[in-house]
Structure 1
Amino acid sequence: MKIINKLIFLLVLGSFAACTYEFPEPQIEQPTSGSADFTKIVSVGNSLTAGFMDGALYNRGQQNSFAVMLANQTRDLGGGDFNVPEINSANGFFQMGPQGPLGRLILTVNPQTGAAGPAPIGAGDLPGNFTGNKANLNNFGVPGITLGTALTPLTGGPNSPANPAFNRMYERFASNPGTSTVIGDAAAALANGGTFFTFWLGNNDVLGYATGGASNPAILTSNADFQQRLGLALGALLQASPNAKGAVANIPSLAVLPYFNLVPWNALPLTQAQADQANQGYALYNGGLGQARAAGLITAEEEENRRIQFQAGQNAFVMEDESLTNLGALGLPSIRQSKPTDRATLPLSQALGQPVGGNPALLRGISFPVEDQFVLIPQEQDEIRDKIVAFNGFINAAVQANAERLVLVDVNDLLNRVLAGSVSSGGVGLTASIVPPNGGFSLDGVHPNARAHAFVANHFINAINGKWGSNIPLVNPNEFIGNDLPR
């Protein structure tokens, strides 16, 4: 039974083709660097700094990261070359397919349904070694890394053992693979004439936990470890070039990301016959809940919360919930149907309603509960929000402790305003979606696209100009494309 086929990606295509923007030429004074020096900029970070987009690191994404844009805007202020560890691939690597590597995501139209949704573009490339001069690199953005892996001679992020391509993301340009570290290499670049740096790490210390449905607590960084590692990383960069100044970005709220917003809580369409069949399967379960309530094991409220009932039309899906009272002694699993307060993750869009393990009797979300890894329940959302608040508090404190040399770039505030619909350029808005032309997120639902990177670059520029009296000219976001139109 094919219950859902890219349902969440239904897009109105008619108005996409002829979108032109006008951006008024800014009236600025002669560019000056103020009390900062942009002769050699070094950027340190994760996938956001690297330009990872559409589920892959590829040429166009690399060249349209905020770090590259910022460096380009400082050219008239004495800024020098800004070298990136080129991936040399038009499509990059998204995942392995039956015939080999598949490349980045693009929007494609299903000829049967007319729905548009992300799919690999076709053939891709596993990351190859960087063949340029490693000693001249300026961009040390590595997809997947946490603060911890940035400080250790590891080659990938917390999930990299299951994804060999991510093991290569740092190894491919490391000064001494297996021994050197991202922070160490960046510090060496700063020590070699570096005058300014950007720093944007910490996102992956909570993101990997969240994208996995908060199902693996082992990969969530503790507050103590985050604070210590942040101090070590920033300290290494500040010590490497005692006169260099830096811009430090914080961690955005994950509630902004389409990855957690694209799959609705009632994403399961059923006919009356399908609903009747599913309801028969849960008759014993619902009866057992009544017995548990009569025995005083659960309240009437929890019984109602756990009761499963389908109907014709759109339905909530059946899911695991470890926060429910354990009724295992009665043979009753900890399951319920999804609620508007739950946040499903993007991978559920392809798994919902599909057979599990090839068994047509086990349909995920109907006869087989959606696993913990696919959903964030309210308690987990609160945990993640509190963690980001704590991490951002440490970042702000570290910046304030070095206030003469560092400025905070509040990207969290920027993206919250994007979510509220209050960010635009030249009268053209930026939205927290993947829908072209205004959607600011690439097709993986997590990483900004090129146009959004321009807004991020301007956010950095405004913070730097305000702190050190510079007047770096702003980027024109409307010169950069968002997501490509569906093919």
Structure 2
Amino acid sequence: MRNSKKYFALALSMVASACTYDFPETAEPTAGEADFSKMVSVGSGLSTGFMNGALYTAGQDASFVNILAQQMEVVGGGTFNQPDVNSEVGCYNPAAGCSAGRLYLKINPTTGSPGPTPKIPGDMNALAPFSGGATLNNFAVPGTTLLLSLIPQTGGPAIPQNPAYNPYYTRFASTPGVSTIIGDAATQFGNGGTFLTFWLGNDDVLGYATAGASAAIPLTTNDDFNTRYNSALSTMLSASPNAKGVVANIPDVTSLPFFSTVAYNPIPLDAATAGALTSQLAVNYNAFLDGMVGNQIITADEAAKRKLTYIAGNNPILINDETLTNLEPYMAGPYAGLKPYAIARQTTKNDLVCLTAGSYIGANLGANGVNGVSAPLTNTTNANTQALKGDDLILIPTEITQIQNSISAFNGIIKTAADGNATRLAFVDANAILASLKTKGAEINGSTITASIAPPFGGFGLDGVYPNARGNGYLANAFIDAINTKFKSSIPHCNPNNFAGNELPVP
């Protein structure tokens, strides 16, 4: 008993000693060498919270810059005012009068598979004028190229007279048709702005890419990008000479689920259908190609690329490829029926299929055949419409190379500009970050996030281009890392798991 008392007293002594242990203090968050009291943001759709094909309240609330501003509050960050649309569903199609709202996942009753579908009706209020422009902090506008950020036509008058018109800018422009996005942002930044987030340049390549490299949306030249980027950035930095900021580069399009959700071989055929297509189309077309080789019109290699194969199982998409030899002049007499296939081939794993193609593949075009199966893919589901070329639905290898070369050149210009302002600007390699997310995914506090639109782990909205709320949280942390490293700040990370992913499909 005596020993027990001694041990008990020793235990009490140890507990007492433990209670007086001085734990190391947690480091207080600090702004470091930067001042976050008034942040101004300039960018395109990536900086607005645009997601699921529309600008709506929940998306705006979860814009990466709004999340960033919230995290900055603990290190002296101030109010961050965005041009709120006050809309639950937003507007999916401004040019068509907002007849449809944001995308959601809906089960296709025919195939049983989920797919992005507009929520009808849309909300014209999403384009209503915004009255808080005098205190605005977020000047990002969906669809903004560098050119559109610098010219007054972006604010009006409306299309079709003015193709530069952007209704999202018009709603908060200081003087629609006279002011510019950069001009308005610079005015606000010059009025006590202390920190800048600048992420322009994405839409100088993104619009062209998502349109399937269509000439209708031109790709910015390297020289124009260089001139416009440096003009816009220098205007902003000159407006508040002592302010600091962060810039980001352009992600590779192959990192976006818009180009990876629909496989190159998404067409399921049973044995009977595959056999019928082979006998009715493939045999004749392939024999014709052999004849073209024999007459030295095309090479054997080109013929091999063009020959059609239909199997029981998953099949590639029949498309038109403008880089192929146009064989229409030779499709006469018994081969006249092959004219729709003058530049046709099936897709391979080297092609990128746009997410929008899913709405057209398999549509019955009447006498023209089945879209993407027996008829080259076209952007129509109308059986009474003559098949078009469908250039806005596929990126072929030459187009992918062209786009990636432009992204590489543009990113070189952005990095040079960041390095030229090294004392003032942090740099975010968004290209590398999203490429890693695409190839490896990421784990955050035990929860996975992927570069896909699939719930519950997908980090992109249903348009396949813009991050969803969880993806924006992930992006915000990447910006926080760059800012903290550059300016010796200690802005805390957000928890992306606190933000919603994509909703489950509805019947």
- Using structure 2 for the length normalisation, give the TM-score: 0.86
Equivalent residue letter for 1:390: A
User: How much identity, in percent, do the aligned residues show?
Assistant: 47
8 Å contact kept, 1:452–1:477 = yes
CA distance in 2 between counterparts of 1:236 and 1:341 reads 41
Q: Tell me the CA shift for residue 282 of structure 1.
A: 4.4
Other-structure match for 1:415? 434
- Judging changes above 3 Å, is the alpha-carbon distance between structure 1 residues 314 and 439 closer, same or farther for their aligned structure 2 residues? same
Other-structure match for 2:149? 150
Task: State the Cα deviation string for residues 342-366 of structure 1 (Å, max 9, x = none).
Answer: 111011101011134xx35432112
8 Å contact kept, 1:107–1:118 = yes
Equivalent residue letter for 1:269: P
Other-structure match for 1:318? 318
Other-structure match for 2:248? 249
Other-structure match for 1:210? 209
Which of 336, 353, 362 is matched with 1:353 structurally? 362
Q: Tell me the CA shift for residue 233 of structure 1.
A: 0.3
- Judging changes above 3 Å, is the alpha-carbon distance between structure 1 residues 168 and 269 closer, same or farther for their aligned structure 2 residues? same
Other-structure match for 1:44? 42
Aligned residues between the structures: 458
More helix as a share of residues: 2
- Judging changes above 3 Å, is the alpha-carbon distance between structure 1 residues 97 and 66 closer, same or farther for their aligned structure 2 residues? closer
Q: Tell me the CA shift for residue 422 of structure 1.
A: 4.6
8 Å contact kept, 2:154–2:164 = no
Q: Tell me the CA shift for residue 277 of structure 1.
A: 3.5
8 Å contact kept, 2:266–2:316 = yes
* Matched position secondary structure for 1:373: coil
Other-structure match for 1:363? 370
Other-structure match for 1:472? 491
8 Å contact kept, 2:454–2:502 = yes
Q: Tell me the CA shift for residue 134 of structure 1.
A: 0.9
Range with bigger deviation, 388-397 or 314-323: 314-323
- Judging changes above 3 Å, is the alpha-carbon distance between structure 1 residues 155 and 355 closer, same or farther for their aligned structure 2 residues? farther
Other-structure match for 1:104? 102
The answer to whether residue 309 in structure 2 is matched with residue 309 in structure 1 is: yes
Other-structure match for 1:463? 482
8 Å contact kept, 1:33–1:472 = yes
Task: State the Cα deviation string for residues 369-403 of structure 1 (Å, max 9, x = none).
Answer: 12222111111111111111110000000000111
* Matched position secondary structure for 2:50: coil
Gaps of 5+ in 2: 1-24, 332-338, 378-389
Range with bigger deviation, 427-436 or 171-180: 427-436
Which of 380, 383, 397 is matched with 2:416 structurally? 397
Other-structure match for 1:377? 396
Other-structure match for 1:262? 261
8 Å contact kept, 2:155–2:179 = no
* Matched position secondary structure for 1:398: helix
CA distance in 2 between counterparts of 1:430 and 1:405 reads 32
Q: Tell me the CA shift for residue 226 of structure 1.
A: 0.2
- Judging changes above 3 Å, is the alpha-carbon distance between structure 1 residues 463 and 100 closer, same or farther for their aligned structure 2 residues? closer
CA distance in 2 between counterparts of 1:105 and 1:481 reads 15
8 Å contact kept, 2:205–2:219 = yes
- Judging changes above 3 Å, is the alpha-carbon distance between structure 1 residues 334 and 448 closer, same or farther for their aligned structure 2 residues? same
Task: State the Cα deviation string for residues 262-316 of structure 1 (Å, max 9, x = none).
Answer: 1111111223343344331344432221111011222222111111232332211
* Matched position secondary structure for 1:120: strand
Q: Show the 5 A alignment for 1:38-187.
A: 38-95=36-93, 101-110=99-108, 113-126=111-124, 127-155=126-154, 167-187=166-186
Which of 417, 441, 446 is matched with 2:460 structurally? 441
* Matched position secondary structure for 1:219: coil
- Judging changes above 3 Å, is the alpha-carbon distance between structure 1 residues 182 and 476 closer, same or farther for their aligned structure 2 residues? same
Task: State the Cα deviation string for residues 33-85 of structure 1 (Å, max 9, x = none).
Answer: 11111110000001111110000000000010110011111112221110000
- Using structure 1 for the length normalisation, give the TM-score: 0.89
Range with bigger deviation, 422-431 or 468-477: 422-431
CA distance in 1 between counterparts of 2:26 and 2:409 reads 38
CA distance in 1 between counterparts of 2:95 and 2:33 reads 52
Q: Tell me the CA shift for residue 115 of structure 1.
A: 2.4
Equivalent residue letter for 1:285: Y
CA distance in 2 between counterparts of 1:132 and 1:182 reads 16
* Matched position secondary structure for 2:355: coil
Other-structure match for 2:31? 33
Range with bigger deviation, 142-151 or 274-283: 274-283
Q: Tell me the CA shift for residue 430 of structure 1.
A: 1.3
Q: Tell me the CA shift for residue 110 of structure 1.
A: 4.1
Range with bigger deviation, 93-102 or 246-255: 93-102
Q: Tell me the CA shift for residue 97 of structure 1.
A: 12
8 Å contact kept, 2:211–2:217 = no
- Judging changes above 3 Å, is the alpha-carbon distance between structure 1 residues 455 and 399 closer, same or farther for their aligned structure 2 residues? same
8 Å contact kept, 1:215–1:372 = yes
Other-structure match for 1:4? none
- Judging changes above 3 Å, is the alpha-carbon distance between structure 1 residues 453 and 100 closer, same or farther for their aligned structure 2 residues? closer
8 Å contact kept, 1:263–1:344 = yes
Equivalent residue letter for 1:362: G
8 Å contact kept, 1:36–1:245 = yes
Q: Tell me the CA shift for residue 213 of structure 1.
A: 1.1
Equivalent residue letter for 2:62: N
- Judging changes above 3 Å, is the alpha-carbon distance between structure 1 residues 165 and 77 closer, same or farther for their aligned structure 2 residues? same
8 Å contact kept, 1:161–1:167 = no
Task: State the Cα deviation string for residues 166-194 of structure 1 (Å, max 9, x = none).
Answer: 73110011111011111111101101110
Q: Tell me the CA shift for residue 32 of structure 1.
A: 1.1
RMSD, aligned CA: 2.4
CA distance in 2 between counterparts of 1:156 and 1:177 reads 5
CA distance in 1 between counterparts of 2:312 and 2:69 reads 56
CA distance in 2 between counterparts of 1:175 and 1:40 reads 20
Gaps of 5+ in 1: 1-26
Equivalent residue letter for 2:120: G
Range with bigger deviation, 476-485 or 263-272: 263-272
* Matched position secondary structure for 1:247: strand
CA distance in 1 between counterparts of 2:326 and 2:97 reads 45
Other-structure match for 1:342? 351
8 Å contact kept, 2:146–2:201 = yes
Q: Show the 5 A alignment for 1:426-437.
A: 426-437=445-456
